[in-house]
């Protein structure tokens, strides 16, 4: 048996080819705090509240950075112009503002501060 860094392929059930609903998971390090189906109309903070995970917020407008989280799996798109609450280096390392960012696919969010 050899070790691999490739993700394991999930076996497909040939009788069930229905599309799966994307899920957002909230982690604190290795601990799963909650998860819920992705609603592309909702922000990360709104998803967290819906599954009982508390995220700190303040301005809720992208200015303060209080709601910064780390995307540790998947993608959450950045706006064309970074809001004042998110520095470019942090965005490059997966930092996103929970009050403004909306996931559209499977994503894992670490709510430990990225800095």
- Applying CB under 6 A, which of residues 35, 39, 42, 57 lies at the interface with ligand FES? 57
Among 69, 71, 76, 97, binds ligand FES (CB under 6 A): 97
Is residue 60 near ligand FES by the rule CB under 6 A?
Answer: yes
Residue whose entry in the numeric block shows the structure tokens 């819920």: 36
∠ CA 68-70-72, nearest 5°, is: 165
Q: Which stretch binds ligand FES (CB under 6 A): 25-33, 51-59, 69-77, 107-115?
A: 51-59
Query: Among 12-20, 60-68, 69-77, 102-110, which window interacts with ligand FES (CB under 6 A)?
Result: 60-68
Structure tokens at 7: 């993700």
Q: Assess contact for 76 and 89: CB atoms under 8 A.
A: no
Among the listed ranges 15-23, 57-65, 71-79, 103-111, the one in contact with ligand FES (CB under 6 A) is: 57-65
Using CB under 6 A as the binding rule, whether residue 85 contacts ligand FES is answered as: yes
Give the span between the Cα atoms of 84 and 65, in whole angstroms: 8
CB 73 within 8 Å of CB 23 = no
């Amino acid at each position: 048996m050899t070790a691999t860094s490739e993700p394991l392929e999930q076996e497909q059930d040939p009788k069930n080819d229905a599309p799966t609903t994307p899920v957002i998971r909230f982690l604190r390090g290795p601990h799963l705090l909650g998860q819920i189906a992705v609603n592309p109309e909702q922000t990360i903070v709104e998803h967290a509240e819906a599954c009982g995970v508390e995220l700190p917020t303040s301005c809720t407008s992208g200015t303060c950075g209080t709601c910064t989280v780390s995307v540790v799996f998947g993608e959450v798109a950045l706006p064309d112009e970074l809001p004042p609450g998110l520095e470019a280096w942090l965005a490059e390392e997966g930092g996103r503002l929970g009050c403004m960012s909306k996931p559209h696919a499977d994503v894992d969010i670490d709510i430990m501060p990225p800095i």
